[in-house]
Amino acid sequence: QEDTPIARFLRYLQFNTAHPNPNYADPISFLISQANAIGLQARTLEFTLSKPLLLLTWPGSNPSLPSVLFNSHLDSVPAEPSKWIYPPFSATLAPDGKIYARGAQDDKCIAMQYLEAIRNLKANGFTPLRTVHISYVPDEEIGGFDGSAKFTGSKEFEDLNVGFVLDEGQASTGDEFRVFYADRTPWELKIKATGDPGHGSRLYDNGAMENLMKSVEVITKFRESQFDIVKSGEAMNSEVISVNPVYLKAGIPSPTGFVMNMQPSEGEAGFDLRLPPTADPDLIKKRIAEEWAPARRNMTYEVIEKGPIRDYLDCPLMTLTNDSNPWWPVFKQAIEAAGGKLSRPEILASTTDARFMRQRGIPTFGFSPMTNTPILLHDHNEFLKDTVYLRGIEVYESVISSLSSFKGESY
């Protein structure tokens, strides 16, 4: 079998790591064999049964300095094979150089690029000043609560003395690399309406469906007001509050579908809500209680906050992108040294494990070196071009060598 960077990437892509039953054991064995070949220390940690985490280490010449951590997640979202031109876990390299696989962009590319970059740096005789760690964590796609959340809260993590983290980002459709300094916080919102049941022919006030639909209308208006801000160009998608309906549940089931001449006494709707770090969570809660699911309309609701909103010092979960963050210029210059350019730093529309590192006060950027690439994470026919993948390795050679050489004593 071939042993080239592309062949190794394809092998890593072939493990079926899709939820709800991701294979964690085999990719970890593979990564350990890679680590052994490169000469990195490896250890597995298991904070949750059957959800192992792999930690690789390249010791620095001054291990007392805070270390740098490169994170990626092992798991993937599911794929619908019938909608793909190649099977999602075949990792097919098409004649035009596109590598098709679930996880090609999200985020198995960075997982292997970290290793390839270190392999090359070692071959060139580079030794890091700071210790470099690479973590491969489970369960990011389902919130990371059994993975990164437990890891970053552990004694093992504290002992790593991490000073700076790079985690996954997103593809860029243009020539510039994207960098993310914050994630939005996800909330799950379920609203329930009750009302008098009645004959399907009757017109009366305060039915459950009327109450529920009124709420859906109010929430839709709010959604439009936020979307308008985006459409007018005043803000980016990830800078506003998104609220998207994800399910509607009502009606009285019958063997042929639903009973059609009865107005039901209850109904329910679910929403995916995302809050940028600048949003005031209390204001949204107030809005939910008073406008979206008010008791006066016989509504109740449940909000499940799927992650932290502020760090341990009660600050918003954001990493600074100016010179008051000493890692920022180091990172930026490393990209430039590799012949790249960063676009304006962004908030990520979705969520990653970076939030758990930021919660500890550790400066963390989301970054995946993919330019001129359509954004296909969680989509059908996710692919990454071989040339883009290989260029990413060079970018990480610059990034890993610069960050691990950074002398700033107190960081």
Ligand X SMILES: CSCC[C@H](NC=O)C(=O)O
Binding site for Zn ion (CB under 5 A): 106-107, 168
Q: Which is nearer to Zn ion, 8 or 102 (CB)?
A: 102
Count of alpha carbons within 13 Å of 250, Cβ hemisphere only?
Answer: 24
Pick one of Zn ion, ligand X, none as the site partner of residue 143 (Cβ within 5 to 8 A by kind). Answer: ligand X
Strands 132-137 and 67-73: parallel
Token pair recorded at residue 24: 């964690």
Name every residue whose Cβ is closer than 8 Å to that of residue 123 and which is 6 or more positions away in sequence: none
Pick one of Zn ion, ligand X, none as the site partner of residue 107 (Cβ within 5 to 8 A by kind). Answer: Zn ion
Q: Is there a contact between 348 and 238 (Cβ–Cβ < 8 Å)?
A: yes
Q: Which candidate in 75, 268, 353, 382 is catalytic? A: 75
Q: Rounded distance, CA 128 to CA 185, Å?
A: 35
Active site residue 282: no
Binding mask 129-148 for ligand X (x = CB under 6 A): ------------x-x-----
Residues 275-294 that bind ligand X (CB under 6 A): none
Active site residue 382: no
Residue 358 three-state SS: helix
Does 368 engage in binding with ligand X (CB under 6 A)? no
Does 386 engage in binding with ligand X (CB under 6 A)? no
Q: Rounded distance, CA 110 to CA 149, Å?
A: 20
**Shortest CB 76 distance to Zn ion, Å:** 7
- Rounded to a whole number, what is the largest CA-CA distance in the chain? 82
Q: Which is nearer to ligand X, 11 or 190 (CB)?
A: 190
Pick one of ligand X, Zn ion, none as the site partner of residue 186 (Cβ within 5 to 8 A by kind). Answer: ligand X
Count CB-CB contacts under 10 A for residue 93.
Answer: 20
Among 22, 186, 264, 267, binds ligand X (CB under 6 A): 186
Q: Is there a contact between 194 and 207 (Cβ–Cβ < 8 Å)?
A: no
Residues 216-235 that bind ligand X (CB under 6 A): none
Among candidate residues 53, 181, 105, 4, the one with its CA nearest the CA of residue 377: 105
Q: Rounded distance, CA 383 to CA 72, Å?
A: 18
Q: Is there a contact between 78 and 72 (Cβ–Cβ < 8 Å)?
A: no
Q: Which is nearer to Zn ion, 106 or 116 (CB)?
A: 106
**Shortest CB 189 distance to ligand X, Å:** 12
**Shortest CB 183 distance to ligand X, Å:** 8
| 394 annotated among ligand-binding-site residues | no
Count CB-CB contacts under 10 A for residue 314.
Answer: 7
Count CB-CB contacts under 10 A for residue 4.
Answer: 10
* Residue 107, φ and ψ in degrees, nearest 5: -135, 40
| 239 annotated among ligand-binding-site residues | no
Does 350 engage in binding with ligand X (CB under 6 A)? yes
Among candidate residues 290, 116, 318, 310, the one with its CA nearest the CA of residue 218: 290
Q: Give how far the C-alpha of residue 406 lies from the chain's centroid of Cα atoms, to the nearest Å.
A: 27
Q: Which is nearer to ligand X, 272 or 394 (CB)?
A: 272
Placement of tokens 């107005």 in the chain: 263
Q: Rounded distance, CA 366 to CA 229, Å?
A: 25
| 311 annotated among ligand-binding-site residues | no
Binding mask 49-88 for ligand X (x = CB under 6 A): ----------------------------------------
**Shortest CB 250 distance to Zn ion, Å:** 31
Q: Which candidate in 107, 139, 140, 239 is catalytic? A: 140
Positive or negative torsion for Cα 43, 47, 52, 53: negative
Among 214, 287, 306, 310, binds ligand X (CB under 6 A): 306
3-state helix, strand, coil in the chain (%, to 5): 35, 25, 40
Does 351 engage in binding with ligand X (CB under 6 A)? yes
| 282 annotated among ligand-binding-site residues | no
Pick one of ligand X, Zn ion, none as the site partner of residue 350 (Cβ within 5 to 8 A by kind). Answer: ligand X
**Shortest CB 388 distance to ligand X, Å:** 21
# residues near ligand X by CB under 6 A: 6
| 106 annotated among ligand-binding-site residues | yes
Name the helix (H) or strand (E) containing 189. strand 185-194
Q: Which is nearer to Zn ion, 106 or 239 (CB)?
A: 106
Q: Which is nearer to ligand X, 22 or 186 (CB)?
A: 186
Pick one of ligand X, Zn ion, none as the site partner of residue 306 (Cβ within 5 to 8 A by kind). Answer: ligand X
The footprint of ligand X (CB under 6 A) covers 141, 143, 186, 306, 350-351
Known binding residues: 73, 106, 141, 168, 378
- Residues forming the active site: 75, 140
Known binding residues for Zn(2+): 73, 106, 141, 168, 378
